[in-house]
Structure 1
Amino acid sequence: MNRPRPRFRPGLLVLAGALLLAPVAPSLASAATAAEAAGAAGAAAPPAVVPAWTPAPPTPSTTPMNPTPTPTTGPPYPTDYPTPTPTPTTALRCSATWRLVSDWPGAFHAEVTVRNTGTSPMARWAVRLTLPEGQGVSDIWSATLASTIDGVVTIGNAEWNGRIAPGASTAFGMIGTGPATAPTLSCIAV
């Protein structure tokens, strides 16, 4: 019994064959080139390699091309330098306190005590008195008047009481005019 043969158009058959061979065409082309080279050299042609599977393209990496360098753990400078000894900040310090001895209408007698609160002996000292409104200084003893500017009176040590040991004190007296209100005091040790 003769069966009728299916009819194919020649163009469709070629197209179907091309679609089937498209994934392996690059491998066949490289195998054909290798066979031609081997035949020209007189050797037997290697068998054609047809891959059964085409690998997927590589996935892009998330690692940067130039990663940030990891810092070293050692110090960036030599460590054999000696550590400087800090200078004590309390070497030269003093305090001044005001005490009202007596007062009368329009004037007063006060005493100012200067104490060395530092750790070194003081060679000289000065006390600044910021006087309240209407107050003035008319006389001082055991000290010298250095300056009077806009209600600020600066009084320095006498020749004999400038040197004060740590923890020790000296005093000077003054006669003031005006109200017997305590001025604002600040002490300067030299």
Structure 2
Amino acid sequence: MITSAHPARVIHNGVTALTGANKATSSEVFVLSMAARFDTPKRQDILIQALTYLPENLPIVCHFLGDGPSIEACKTLTHQLNLDGKVNFYGVVDNVQKYYSQSDVRVLISDYEALPISLVEALAQGLPIIASNVGGIQELIDHNGFLVTNDARQIAEKILTLYQSKKIAEVKTNSYQMYQRHYTEHEMLEQTQAYYLRCLA
């Protein structure tokens, strides 16, 4: 029972550390990835539009993982904006880790969120994050990426900033350190056990 003696507390979901080699930082192509259902409240369309504000000669691609009602509209938008060579739609995949390990930056553009597991997984992979400043996402960003409004120009600016950054390795380290401090399965279990023990005392 939750009482004044045992107030409620937030325990974040933890995830297993993601194994597998990260993408080589020397790779010529800068890879963005967004793993989310193509449906409300996700805004893959805004990320697609953001790519049009980047320099045309920028060696960048965007991988979309997931499926849903709005995927065909996003494919049409990609074609209309002449971005077919820079945007890939993979649908629902079995081995998400394969695509995570090919990424330089994880992106999540959304109208509303709680605390997305896909971004916690990005921390576990040591990836920089660009994400909408909604819901609990701000808890995941601390010198390891950028919070953005759902504005295509602003998103493009942050993508370019990370692409040009000479401290990208430091940003990746910050992401992984945040995961280790707050979002491991071990930390989740420890906090849950400690809370139950306090309630039973």
TM-score scaled by structure 2? 0.21
Larger fraction in helix: 2
Larger fraction in strand: 1
TM-score scaled by structure 1? 0.21
Structure possessing the higher radius of gyration over alpha carbons: 1
